[in-house]
């Protein structure tokens, strides 16, 4: 089960090589995670007020082909694994026109306290929200998490 948002490449995203500056794919991926969170009924703003912050812990990114100025892209995610404190997202950035994947990544996100940046359990309501969107597979991961 996958979650996607459209992305448009603007001048701000490009570099002197004439293509999307590679770190910006990570921004496109985070936009998808933020919209996924919103689709689950949560926003960073209110989570911060509850002392909850999600931080990226590890990323493995494979830049396969460049995206260019003005291109219409799709930023897609699915949950590979969910544990008490961490969620692993599989993410891709693909061309909208032909679906070719330009960049793919595995991003491990940790839940920390905003106040002291120490790890904390992902709140139950959020885990349930993730599971709702992520479907049966994710739920299995959720249940097997010890």
Catalytically annotated residues: 15
Minimum gap (Å) between residue 40 Cβ and its own copies: 13
Q: How far is CA 14 from CA 5, 6, 7, 22, 38, in A?
A: 20, 17, 14, 9, 27
Residues 23 and 59: beta-carbon distance below 8 Å: no
Residue of the chain from 2, 6, 7, 18 that contacts its own copies (CB under 8 A): 18
C-beta closer to its own copies: residue 72 or 140: 72
Element holding 38 (H helix, E strand): helix 23-39
As a whole number of angstroms, the distance between CA 35 and CA 37 comes to 5
Minimum gap (Å) between residue 129 Cβ and its own copies: 16
Q: Token pair of 143, please?
A: 């249940």
Residue of the chain from 19, 93, 94, 102 that contacts its own copies (CB under 8 A): 19
Site for its own copies in 28-57 (CB under 8 A): 30-31, 34-35, 38, 43-45, 48, 53, 55-57
Binding segment for its own copies (CB under 8 A), chosen from 63-71, 87-95, 119-127, 132-140, is: 63-71
Residues 42 and 94: beta-carbon distance below 8 Å: no
Residue of the chain from 41, 50, 51, 68 that contacts its own copies (CB under 8 A): 68
Give the contacts of 61 (CB within 8 A, at least 6 positions apart): 25, 26, 103, 104, 105
Binding site for its own copies (CB under 8 A): 8, 10-12, 14-19, 21-24, 26-27, 30-31, 34-35, 38, 43-45, 48, 53, 55-63, 65-66, 68-70, 114, 117
């Amino acid at each position: 089960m996958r979650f996607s948002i459209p992305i448009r490449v603007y001048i701000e995203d490009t570099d002197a090589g004439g293509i999307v500056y590679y770190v910006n794919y990570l921004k496109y991926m985070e936009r998808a995670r933020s919209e996924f969170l919103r689709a689950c009924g949560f926003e960073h703003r209110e989570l911060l007020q509850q002392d909850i912050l999600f931080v990226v812990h590890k990323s493995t990114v494979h830049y396969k082909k460049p995206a260019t100025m003005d291109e219409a892209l799709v930023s897609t995610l699915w949950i590979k694994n969910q544990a008490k404190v961490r969620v692993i997202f599989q993410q891709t950035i693909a061309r909208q026109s032909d679906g070719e994947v330009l960049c793919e990544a595995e991003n491990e996100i940790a839940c920390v306290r905003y106040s002291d940046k120490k790890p904390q359990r992902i709140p139950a309501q959020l885990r349930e929200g993730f599971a709702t969107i992520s479907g049966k597979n994710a739920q299995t991961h959720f249940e097997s998490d010890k």
